[in-house]
Amino acid sequence: MSDNLDLTLRLFATALLIGINALYVFHEFAFVAIKPGQLRKLDQDQSKRGRLVSKMAHRIDHYIAVDQLGITVSSLAVGWIGQPVVSDLFNAAFGELGLSSGVMILISGAIAFALLTGTQMVVGELMPKSYALRNAEQTAGFTARPVEITAIVFHPFVALMNGIGLFLVRLLGFQGNVDSHSRVLPADELVTSVQSSARAGLLKTDLKALTRLINFSDLKAHDLMIPRMDVVAISADASFDEVLATARRHQFDGYPVYQGSRDEIVGIINVKDLLVATFGKGSEHPANWLRSVRPIPTVPELASVEVLLATLQAGQQPMALLVDEFGATEGIVTVTDITRQLIEGPDEIHAETPESMLVDGHASVSILESELGIELNDEERFSATIAGLVLDELGEIPDEGDTVTVNGHGIDVVEMDGHRITSVRIRLRGEEPKPDGEEVDDEVAPSTPGT
């Protein structure tokens, strides 16, 4: 009877150790999987459990070390206690087969090892891991207290082992003591996360609009630029009637004003300011319309969007002038174009089919890559516009109908204006070229050169 009792106790101890192993696996994967939004909610939870879980999440390195200690010790103990008792069970069963003691020990030992390993993996590792990853917040709550007790009891040993581990990590040139829940996702990872959520049906918002918003900070000023040749500008030598005629014809809120040539932009004329100054109380003579011209903010074409927006805000103007490294005028950017890019997307892309679209030659390659989900630029080649990309690939001025292939995507030259590429067709991988002159489903709207 004492032998049976001893066997039962050892089997119970083995099962208990597997359960303890599972506890630490539950805790470890719960805190790995807990989301920043859940953590912020826990930070505001004033309950004892909420405060404890929040503390653990912000000291993740320390508590992962506690989990590893519990998992390692319990796993070793399972083998130490469980292996002999399971082997004895099979030895007794095989004794009736008349096998030699050496063969019985070998077979029963192998079976015991496989059985314990399988049980440990399924019950002690895989099951708690799968549950914790799907129910992180709930799992973190019910495992926090026992793991905290372990952390208190074994604090000196855990602190020593964790310190040695962090020292070795720093020795290899990596950063230690990182709060895993304070890391901010870079734009590309955030886009991937948003796309995955959309495919899973978790988003009701327009996926392209969200992707556009996330990628917006990666753009440069020239990605939002209206090229100089497309800008509607007013000469400083123009009469008041000519200024009004231009305003009636194009109906923009404001226009750049140039002196002599379009490279010499001297300011911006706001139509509202012009009308108030000319026809309002204490108005100026129409011939003095130049007094209503305001300074125009100037930004390098390679400036970031953040710099561009800060400059527009500081100058309190709806338009900025973009210049190259030599100070020559490249184009303008307006607040209207920035807003349109965020809300509606670029107006330079005109879909024909899901795999084929007409694109204005001055369209930004960066925006095209973001909108279409393709890669055109690479480490060996960078072009700001799609027209520039075609010129780089061909190495000469193209004719209408010329085609290049970039990373498997076909680009056909559709329309030329002298030596300038004004329109191309992009065919995504596998799309065949369209015959010349084929009708386009969407009307090609001109780019907007004013505010």
pLDDT at 26 over 90: yes
Confirm if 377 and 386 have CB atoms less than 8 A apart: no
Q: Give mean pLDDT, residues 440-448.
A: 39
Task: Report the C-alpha gap between 304 and 218 in whole angstroms.
Answer: 7
Confirm if 108 and 94 have CB atoms less than 8 A apart: yes
- pLDDT computed for residue 371 by the predictor: 80
How many of the other CB atoms lie within 10 Å of CB of 40? 11
- pLDDT computed for residue 437 by the predictor: 47
pLDDT at 158 over 80: yes
Q: Give mean pLDDT, residues 199-207.
A: 56
Q: Give mean pLDDT, residues 307-322.
A: 87
- pLDDT computed for residue 92 by the predictor: 67
Q: Would you place residue 442 in the very low, low, confident or very high pLDDT band (cuts 50, 70, 90)?
A: very low
- pLDDT computed for residue 285 by the predictor: 61
Least confident of 161-175, 276-290, 383-397: 276-290
Q: Would you place residue 444 in the very low, low, confident or very high pLDDT band (cuts 50, 70, 90)?
A: very low
- pLDDT computed for residue 340 by the predictor: 80
What is the phi/psi pair of residue 227, to 5°?
-60, 155
- pLDDT computed for residue 100 by the predictor: 66
Q: In this structure, which long-range contacts are made by residues 235-241, counting pairs with CB atoms below 8 Å and at least 24 apart in sequence?
A: 235/259, 236/266, 236/290, 236/293, 239/287, 240/278, 240/286, 240/287, 240/289, 241/286
Q: Would you place residue 31 in the very low, low, confident or very high pLDDT band (cuts 50, 70, 90)?
A: confident
- pLDDT computed for residue 177 by the predictor: 55
Confirm if 232 and 252 have CB atoms less than 8 A apart: yes
Q: Could you please report the per-residue DSSP string of 126-174? A: IHHHHHHHHSHHHHHHHHHHHHHHHHHHTHHHHHHHHHHHHHHHHHTT-
pLDDT at 333 over 70: yes
Q: Is 49 exposed, middle or buried (0-12, 13-18, 19+ CB in 10 A)?
A: middle
Least confident of 89-98, 230-239, 248-257, 347-356: 89-98
Q: Give mean pLDDT, residues 98-123.
A: 80
> Whole-prediction pTM value?
0.50
- pLDDT computed for residue 35 by the predictor: 74
pLDDT at 436 over 60: no
* CA distances (Å), origin 450, targets 25, 322, 333, 445: 61, 14, 8, 14
- pLDDT computed for residue 280 by the predictor: 59
- pLDDT computed for residue 299 by the predictor: 92
Three-state DSSP at 357 gives: strand
Q: In what order do the strands lie in the sheet with 265-270?
A: 234-235, 254-258, 265-270
- pLDDT computed for residue 21 by the predictor: 94
Task: Report the C-alpha gap between 360 and 446 in whole angstroms.
Answer: 9
* Mean pLDDT of all residues belonging to the chain: 80
In order of their start, the domains of the chain are 2-171 (no CATH), 187-218 (no CATH), 221-341 (3.10.580.10), 345-427 (3.30.465.10)
- pLDDT computed for residue 300 by the predictor: 93
pLDDT at 25 over 80: yes
What is the phi/psi pair of residue 134, to 5°?
-95, -20
What is the phi/psi pair of residue 218, to 5°?
-85, -10
Tokens for 228?
């100089």
pLDDT at 114 over 90: no
